[in-house]
Amino acid sequence: MEELNRRDKAKLSDAWCWSFASPEDRAYHDSEWGVPAHDDVRMFEHLSMECLQCGLSWNTILLKRTILRSCFADFDIDAVAAFDEQDVRRILETPGMLRSERKVRAIIGNARAAQALRREHGSLSEYFWSWTEGRTILYEGHEHGGLPASNGLSKRIARDLKRRGFSFVGPVNVYAHLQSCGIVCDHNELCPRHAFITERFPCTRLPREDEA
């Protein structure tokens, strides 16, 4: 890639303003996507959102985020793990909520699996960050685009999560989760958020071939 002059970089950076589906999408990108998350509420919320997104657009999930938080007790793991059949019905009958019983039950089941995982690792956050020794991964070439839907790391984590009883956690969902929680930084280098993250958080660079 040829070196871009300052004016060209500014033009390409400004183009980000036009690439979002909604103001919520833009706000999510500009303040949350890719920022390292180290608390269990955010980690479980992001994982649950990725599960719920299957077959839908990400913008749909963002537009329903307030409803999702209301239905799932602000994604408190212990509270969701205690949900019963009455809660399943309540969630499915909530106006504006996604009408997928399988996904609702998966979130509840994942909360219970997360409780067991916390007993081993201390927290859900510590579990995910243990895969990268607490550092954000920058894969060579990702800063220029052409991102994979999944990679070797997401496949390994997906296998382990399924072994632990989690649902809707295939390699694609897990890779999206790693991106959203800042375990993998996939912001384009022309995006201001790339510098925001790489200058403020511990990162490690890996060659693209390490993805397999």
pLDDT digit string, tens, across residues 111-150:
999 999 999 999 999 999 999 999 999 999 998 888 999 9
Tell the CATH superfamily of the 32-211 domain: Hypothetical protein; domain 2 (1.10.340.30)
pLDDT digits (tens, 9 = 90+) for 30-51: 999 999 999 999 999 999 999 9
16, 24, 32, 58: which one is catalytic?
Answer: 58
50, 139, 175, 211: which one is catalytic?
Answer: 50
Query: How much is the mean pLDDT over the chain?
Result: 91
Query: Hey, where are the domains in the chain?
Result: 32-211
**Where is pLDDT greater, at 141 or 21?**
141
Q: Does the structure show a pLDDT above 50 at 2?
A: no
In whole angstroms, give the CA distance from residue 28 to residue 184: 16
Q: Is 86 helix (H, G, I), strand (E, B) or coil?
A: helix
Q: Does the structure show a pLDDT above 90 at 110?
A: yes
28, 33, 127, 139: which one is catalytic?
Answer: 28
For the chain, the distance separating the N- and C-terminal CA atoms, rounded to the nearest angstrom, is 24
Q: Note if 28 is an active site residue.
A: yes
Q: Note if 131 is an active site residue.
A: no
Helical H segments across 32-131, by residue range: 40-53, 58-63, 65-71, 77-81, 85-92, 101-121, 124-130
Token pair of 158 as six digits? 């997906």
What letter would DSSP give residue 204? Answer: E
Q: Note if 33 is an active site residue.
A: no
Q: Using pLDDT thresholds of 50, 70 and 90, give the confidence band for residue 159.
A: very high
In whole angstroms, give the CA distance from residue 116 to residue 20: 38
